[in-house]
Amino acid sequence: MSHQHKKRFGQHFLHDQSVLERMTHAIAPQASDVMLEIGPGEGALTDRLIDRVASFTVVEIDNDLIPTLNKRYGNRAHFSIRHQDALTVDYGSIANPLRVVGNLPYNISTPLIFHLLESRHAITDMHFMLQKEVVQRLASEADSEHYGRLSVMAQYYCAIEDLFHIGPEAFDPPPKVDSAVVRLVPYQQLPAAAQNEATFARIVKQSFSMRRKTLRNNLKGWLTAEQIEACGIQPGHRAEVLTVADFVRLSDAYDQESTAHE
């Protein structure tokens, strides 16, 4: 009996062989790789990767898929299954270095990427199939339509590349949106490092809190117009025109001001 796709898990299984081949080529599996796949489904991508790497782990939440995956791959000594929610996995404890791939459920893709970034020091790269709009937000540059808080936070930690786009017909069942494949490579050394990353995250969030308002308004109570200007940034600008490095300067200015008043 075929698998009944579960809406609560956001299941849309990729079946287009040409797309699978393009994704495999982008991942470029190597014989020494320790690889983890999130949401393998019925194994369409797994089939193309598992015999090309040294170790292969899948993370699958759906009880009904575990027997199928065990039957197909359980005889391989280098294969293992983690039957759990991908948002609860400690990826840094699995291996270092670790490569991560997957066709991510659209309903958890953003929180899952943030969760994975907590283990970035152990992750070599990530290749994901995501909703196209999410990939555009991840990869877009400052002062463009899709640029926002997610863009800044992800680009602070990773080099990001929007690889290619896919229509709904490549999936079963077809989603109501287009998809895209993205590559995220965590920086070994951050191009622009904030003094305090918690402050940086708060400044970014506050700056985008009301997109149509200027930094002068959104950062009121955080930084004065003069302090913003001292960072080489116009207080009358909106957050969407600032680069990651601009936000780092604002964050450091806030921290320096806070320290001076302690």
pLDDT in tens, 84-140: 999 999 999 999 999 999 998 888 999 999 999 999 999 999 999 999 999 999 999
pLDDT of residue 262: 57
pLDDT at res. 172: 83
159: helix, strand or coil: strand
User: Could you read off the pLDDT of 170-199 as tens digits, one per residue?
Assistant: 998 898 999 999 999 999 999 999 999 999
Q: List 57's β-bridge partners, or say none.
A: 36, 80
Q: Are 220 and 159 within one domain?
A: no
pLDDT band at 7; cut points 50, 70, 90: very low
Orientation angle between helical segments 149-157 and 244-260, nearest 10 degrees: 90
Domain tally, the chain? 2
What predicted TM-score, i.e. pTM, was given to this entire model? 0.92
Residue 218 structural domain: 197-260
- Convert the pLDDT of each residue in 140-178 to its tens digit: 999 999 999 999 999 999 999 999 999 999 998 898 999
- On whether both 181 and 206 belong to a single domain, the answer is no
Q: What is the pLDDT of residues 15-44, one digit of tens each?
A: 899 999 999 999 999 999 999 999 999 899
**123, containing H or E segment:** strand 123-131
CA-to-CA dists, residue 20 to 43, 45, 62, 164, angstroms: 11, 6, 22, 12
23 and 109 inside one domain: yes
79 and 166: one domain? Answer: yes
What is the band of 261 on the pLDDT scale with cuts at 50, 70, 90?
low
Same domain, 114 and 218: no
**Size of the chain in residues:** 262
> Do residues 93 and 210 both lie within one domain?
no
User: What pLDDT is attached to residue 151?
Assistant: 97
